[in-house]
Structure 1
Amino acid sequence: MSEKKIKYCGLFGYYPKWLQKYANSKIFIIVYGFLGLVQAMAFIYMTVTLTTLEKRFKIPSQTTGLILSGNEISQILSLILIYYGGVGHRPKWLAVGVGLSSLSCFILVIPHLIYGPGEAALALTQEYLAKNIKMNTTQKSDFLPICNDKNSIKEICANDDWSDDDGIVPRFLIFFSQFVLGIGTTLYFGLGQTYLDDNSKKSNTPMLLGVTFALRTFGPAVGFILAYFCMKIYIVPDLHPIINEKDPRWLGAWWLGWIFLGLLLAIFSLLIALFPRELPKKLHKISNDKNMTEVEVPLNIENNLQKNLNDIDELNNLSIEKIDSQQDDEPNIKDFFTTLIRVCSNKILLCNNLSAVFGILGVIPYMTFIAKYLEVQFETSAGGGTVITGPISLISMVLGFFFSGWFISKFNPRPSRLLSWNVFGGTLWAVVQIILIFNTCEIIEHHGIDRQNLIINLTDTCNVNCNCDDSKYSPVCHQATKTTFMSPCHAGCKNSNDTKSYYNCSCVDLSLKKNYNNDTVINDSVTVGPCKGDCTNAYIIFMILIMICNFISATERIGNVLVNYRCVDKKDKSISQGVTLMIVSLFALIPGPILYGAIIDKSCLLWENSCGENGNCWHYDKEKFRLLFNTTASFFTFIGVLFDVGVCYLARNVDLYGKNDDDKGIIFIQDEANIVKYKKTKKVSDNIT
């Protein structure tokens, strides 16, 4: 292999001199860190826009969890790519992965390009209403029905394009995009971090990991903001909706952010590909010891070796002997399985991975379904709650990464103390999740839903003659009683002032008229949108608890990664990362969203029903949701703590900081030539002529 391809910055045979000064670990950290930032933006953008995708394509949460598992399925299948990439040109393999991540973003835009915003979203625009008026039609939108509206449009199933809204094609495209994204994620974690570790001092690894983790953690904060602004834009930006983003029927421009993210990832794919296979080593000196010392010397200065060594006073008496340069063996399938068996049989690695599995199962609901949790429990708008909670909690993670990276690099705490901190952090998370079971706010009544007996009967004596059977979910609120009705029709409303208020509603509490001097316009009127309770205090408590736990979790991460690196041979580091990703994906990231999606669906009270098929959920049993959600998470977190105790015991003597590293004492002397190795044998004067 050409030395330029190994040691020089460039691409496609182009290695300009001005670019070589950027071939160092600091520049790699910057590029790799900001690449992680953009990848994290994509992850959190999917999380925030998830509820909008469910509404647009009528996807239940359990099905959503299955669709998102495409990311983890590809990570399992990509294990062999980690092996080949680990013994090959890691930056270029990493660039391929980033390019695939970019492609996945553009794949996600395709459902919108094919199917558009959907009839439901178009019907809630001024342009749609103006078109009906211009056509002199007396029909009203079936999404704004009123009592006795015999002209309301009925649902026609026979002529529906099934794949338009709730069919297999949009769901497959979302699944496929996640599958492609998973390959890029696998290569990012499996190759990037090991490349960084192999091209820097082992004692500096904690700080370098802290910097890269912190930069990656900024990604979700920026992703929250990107999602917030995209979700404030209507799904068709050039149309004018008659509802605002607080209405549950609002669909934001979820597709817009994927174009921006795809372009950013494409740029970083090119940048990461420029790095050489190995970063050039600078001339440096480490204190002498009596152990074997290796010196790497350029071939073209072999005859002048004495002169070069004499320039370093401390090495004047160093004796050396030329040894054969070892080339990397070509990877093959046989070695792959041998390596895989060796790595999987490592007790420390296995225990650390199981700790990660249960730890992730405990926290993944607060990542994947955080937007839905905030919507249901604290009545925030889609993306509106995360724009506050997200950045605040993620800033605490950034501080945790920086602090732990600095602390570990500075003080090198022994493994037992460092890993005991993980036990404390996991225990704290489990306790907080139990506390969240009781963190609630005012529950708003929904007409026709008996929460205690779980009986749903939206047809009452007050609306029995209103022909509401085919009315779509378009909630209205009677402010005086804080009661939400499924639609103006279900509220028994016979008249409308505009598209935002209705009156002469027979199902409101008419006894309140006495308090308003029989002013029927006030007492029997409703406004568009569900009633909102006061959830400010509960929301603040949730933010504070999550912020504290995220800070503690961030300080644990570097210790876990160091254990993974140091408990295996140097040549097995990349494949061990791949095995970790495989185990975490197979047992946590795939079943986790599916499990919690099923839990969320189990607490649903009111489903979107189209032609006899359930779509997304419109109304949840808040108490059941919170109890099942947090109890399950707490259980998994506690199991993870038990494995943390095992890691703390098994890894108590692991050399986390490279103090016993075989490369200690190496001094690198190099120029643009090839490299050969020498080892200490006898005096230089006897060996060099």
Structure 2
Amino acid sequence: MDETELLEQTLDPPTTDVPPSELSSNGKAPEGKEWVDTPKGTECGIGPCKPQCLQIFASKKFFTFMLCIFGLIEGALISGFEPVIISSLEIRYKFSSTAASVIIIVFDIAVVVSVIIISYFGEKAHKPRWIGIAFFTQGIGALVFALPHFIFGKYDAGSVTNTTLVLESCNNPSLLVPDCDAGNTGAYILFLIGNAIIGVSAAPLFTIGVSFIDDIVLPKYVSLHIGVFQVCTIVGPAIGFGIGSALLTLYVDVGEVTNLTEDDPAWVGAWWLSFIVSSGISFLFSIPFFFYPRVLPDTHLVTEARQKQMKGTYKGRFGKEDTFVEQLKAFPFHLLGLFKSKAWLFLTLGTTFLFLSLEALVSFAPKYVETVYRVPASTAGLIIGAMAIAAGGIGTLTGALIAHCVKIGKNMGIVNWVTVLIAVVPLVGFFLTCRSVDVVGIGTQYTNNSISNSSDVLLASCNADCNCSSTIFEPVCGADGLTYFSPCRASCQQVGDIQNVTYENCGCVATNLRNNMMNSDFGTILASSTATRGLCPLPCTYLAGFIALVTIFVILIFLIRVPFLLVTLRSVADEQRTFALGVQSLFFRLFGSIPGPLLFGAIIDSGCVYSQTECGRIANCWVYDNNILRLRAYIFCTLGILACLVCTVLSWVFYPPYGFKLAPPDGTEYKCTDPPVDGKLSAPNPVFISETTDGILY
């Protein structure tokens, strides 16, 4: 059978059963015969329990569907829920952005530690069952992540829900003693453990899962299956952003009455609910993977078609390696074989730089939007979620269609580096930034009121007698148009309208107004000097432009996900596809996904101009300098994309120009047309023979 005949077969060949002895060379039942028996090891079920009613699920489409569910939940957890709730965790458990970024990167550290072992030994394991175990483990990780809410008590923000403190004034200042017990440390440890478990469970998803799709789907259609899977891994974060943002509109202690509003900087939403729901879904949908067969009846035909596309630069041959010891001994050889492929190596480096920028931006995108454009955490999450659905979905589907139409090889390499080149342009959106919040005493000085030689920048002669706290940020907008750190720092003497939270007789506001109104009576001005809870309005029309440009950037980045993946699969030997994805995953996580959020978190912290100090350590930041944030974020992301561009071009240059054919150890050519036996392909183990003219065996 030639390649054309193989590729013209339908996505799901006839699934009725026929004895292997009567299977014709093209994998179809002989004319006039009914299929009566499925090749052993290709039925759905566990052990001897393989009822006929389950066999309808032994199909390519069903496996892709189930893998999509796994990818959707994993994406919602790591790239959806966590970025949305990160600022809430900072407030609730008093973390800095750098400390919070460690929670994020623990996921990637866990993947790095486990992915090499899982991808190498998983190549010859029962792949669907390994994925089922991983899906179940993900549910355990999500459950652990949510535990701090149930273990460490209710949120009081230093009793910020107390009416007296919420309505703080100069005559009733908050004299709080910070809670320095070990509760926050315990919560932090559980977040790390939970994310580590989720990371270990994610390792098989993008290695064994993608490799198994490549095992059972004809090359002509594999880009569509992988494309659909990749779309789900994008829709997952988008759903995570949407659901997570919606849940943040609920108060963290559901059912509790609070005087905090969602616009209050101390507000914390119900971050934990999304992880409880994800845990239950993971437990439920992991079950079908345990019933899926090792291979499908026509997998041998898919193998033959795939191997005709293979390209590589490998010296020597791969043995059967049926035992654990044999696989362990062959590990160095397989690893060396990967690094001999310059195309794979440079594509891996390019993917690493890409993830360095992308993961950093995605992890802190809601935090960035919330900080720079002054929108609530739930609104920021919805904006980023909507953008992710549109941009990620459009980009991935477009990339899958391009991969379906463009021949894998040099042409697809051109698609990759041209797309990366264009992606540099929309990063200028970082320069569309709103003005920073000017809090009196921090960004703006008290008018003729500052007390020299004081370490407290918020202290002024107008509020010196108020004994105000600097722990809790309760901003108010004075009648003078300035934002004050708290009503006490504005020297407000009493509460006015409790429902709308307004304050009256604000001494610092009156002093500032008098300086602008010559020869005015201070008593008259004081009587009209009010302040309203919240930041002063600051017109800003740049959010829409920023989101538009970032959307274009995300579309372009996700457009090359499927082409990148297919070039990776065809740049290595057939037996090394899972291992190649595993090592590539190690590289882009170890040098991309792990340092990316950590560096971006440090960038955000570097833009902090006033942070809360509690129990001898720096906690969450209250006020940022937007100019520092935008410039450093732009430089960081742009350098990462440019480095990716260089590596992608080199990968295209070094893509192997020579094809390979298959031969068993005795040198005679064969075709992999034998049906599976006991769920395994029975054809001899192939080696790659170069079609170059130098006569050397590679």
* TM-score in terms of structure 2 length: 0.81
Partner of residue 379, structure 2: 384
Deviations 1:469-523 (A, max 9, x none): 4552111122x54422111111111110226111111112324789x99975885
Q: How many Å apart are 1:390 and its aligned residue?
A: 2.0
Q: How many Å apart are 1:331 and its aligned residue?
A: 3.0
CA distance in 1, matches of 2:322, 2:676: 24
Partner of residue 612, structure 1: 616
Cα distance change on mapping 1:285 and 1:89 into 2, 3 Å: closer
Q: 2:356 aligns with which of 329, 346, 361?
A: 361
Letter in 1 for 2:63: F
What's the secondary structure of 1:616's corresponding residue? strand
Letter in 2 for 1:28: F
CA distance in 2, matches of 1:383, 1:664: 60
Partner of residue 432, structure 2: 439
Partner of residue 239, structure 2: 222
CA distance in 1, matches of 2:613, 2:679: 71
Q: 1:17 aligns with which of 52, 67, 71?
A: 52
Partner of residue 534, structure 1: 539
Deviations 1:53-74 (A, max 9, x none): 1111111111122232211221
2:424 maps to 1:424: no
Letter in 2 for 1:29: T
Partner of residue 510, structure 1: 513
- The structure whose RCO (Cα within 8 Å, separation 6+) is larger is 1
Partner of residue 487, structure 1: 486
Deviations 1:157-184 (A, max 9, x none): xxx452123x2x2111111111111111
The 8 Å contact of residues 134 and 204 in structure 2, kept in 1 or not, is answered as yes
What's the secondary structure of 2:560's corresponding residue? helix
Q: How many Å apart are 1:672 and its aligned residue?
A: 10
The 8 Å contact of residues 352 and 647 in structure 1, kept in 2 or not, is answered as yes
CA distance in 2, matches of 1:247, 1:147: 20
Aligned length: 612
CA distance in 2, matches of 1:490, 1:114: 35
The 8 Å contact of residues 146 and 276 in structure 2, kept in 1 or not, is answered as yes
Q: How many Å apart are 1:211 and its aligned residue?
A: 1.1
CA distance in 1, matches of 2:624, 2:420: 29
Q: How many Å apart are 1:647 and its aligned residue?
A: 0.9
Partner of residue 196, structure 2: 179
Cα distance change on mapping 1:386 and 1:620 into 2, 3 Å: same
2:653 maps to 1:649: yes
The 8 Å contact of residues 603 and 633 in structure 2, kept in 1 or not, is answered as yes
Letter in 2 for 1:504: N
Q: 2:172 aligns with which of 149, 163, 169?
A: 149
CA distance in 2, matches of 1:10, 1:577: 28
Partner of residue 73, structure 1: 109
The 8 Å contact of residues 155 and 253 in structure 2, kept in 1 or not, is answered as no
Partner of residue 412, structure 1: 406
Deviations 1:416-443 (A, max 9, x none): 332222222222332222x134211244
What's the secondary structure of 1:647's corresponding residue? helix
What's the secondary structure of 2:46's corresponding residue? coil
Partner of residue 554, structure 1: 558
Output aligned runs, 1:247-266, within 5 Å.
Answer: 247-266=264-283
The 8 Å contact of residues 471 and 613 in structure 2, kept in 1 or not, is answered as no
Q: After alignment, is 103-112 or 74-83 more displaced?
A: 74-83
Partner of residue 340, structure 1: 335
Partner of residue 93, structure 2: 57
CA distance in 2, matches of 1:633, 1:582: 21
What's the secondary structure of 2:424's corresponding residue? helix
Q: How many Å apart are 1:145 and its aligned residue?
A: 2.6
What's the secondary structure of 1:243's corresponding residue? coil
What's the secondary structure of 2:559's corresponding residue? helix
* Identical residues among aligned pairs (%): 25
Output aligned runs, 1:179-328, within 5 Å.
Answer: 179-281=196-298
Cα distance change on mapping 1:287 and 1:45 into 2, 3 Å: closer
Letter in 1 for 2:177: E
CA distance in 2, matches of 1:283, 1:661: 14
Partner of residue 477, structure 1: 477
CA distance in 2, matches of 1:199, 1:90: 12
The 8 Å contact of residues 108 and 174 in structure 1, kept in 2 or not, is answered as yes
Cα distance change on mapping 1:92 and 1:155 into 2, 3 Å: same
The 8 Å contact of residues 443 and 533 in structure 1, kept in 2 or not, is answered as no
Letter in 1 for 2:215: D
CA distance in 2, matches of 1:232, 1:532: 22
The 8 Å contact of residues 420 and 648 in structure 1, kept in 2 or not, is answered as yes
Q: Give me the CA root mean square deviation.
A: 3.2
Partner of residue 69, structure 2: 34
Q: How many Å apart are 1:4 and its aligned residue?
A: 8.4
Q: How many Å apart are 1:222 and its aligned residue?
A: 1.1
Cα distance change on mapping 1:625 and 1:117 into 2, 3 Å: farther
Letter in 2 for 1:259: I
The 8 Å contact of residues 148 and 467 in structure 1, kept in 2 or not, is answered as no
Extract unaligned runs of 5+ from structure 2.
1-37, 309-318, 446-454, 664-668, 686-698
What's the secondary structure of 1:384's corresponding residue? helix
Deviations 1:230-287 (A, max 9, x none): 1000001111221221111100011111000111111221122221111222898999
Q: How many Å apart are 1:583 and its aligned residue?
A: 0.7
What's the secondary structure of 2:377's corresponding residue? coil
Q: How many Å apart are 1:12 and its aligned residue?
A: 5.5
Cα distance change on mapping 1:4 and 1:620 into 2, 3 Å: farther
The 8 Å contact of residues 98 and 605 in structure 2, kept in 1 or not, is answered as yes
2:133 maps to 1:96: yes
Deviations 1:390-426 (A, max 9, x none): 22333222122222222322x2346333222222222
Letter in 2 for 1:447: V
Q: 1:632 aligns with which of 626, 630, 636?
A: 636
CA distance in 2, matches of 1:622, 1:279: 56
The 8 Å contact of residues 430 and 638 in structure 1, kept in 2 or not, is answered as yes
Letter in 1 for 2:618: N
CA distance in 2, matches of 1:464, 1:176: 46
CA distance in 1, matches of 2:367, 2:678: 57
Letter in 2 for 1:501: T
The 8 Å contact of residues 216 and 299 in structure 2, kept in 1 or not, is answered as no
What's the secondary structure of 2:335's corresponding residue? helix
Q: After alignment, is 348-357 or 421-430 more displaced?
A: 421-430
CA distance in 1, matches of 2:284, 2:643: 41
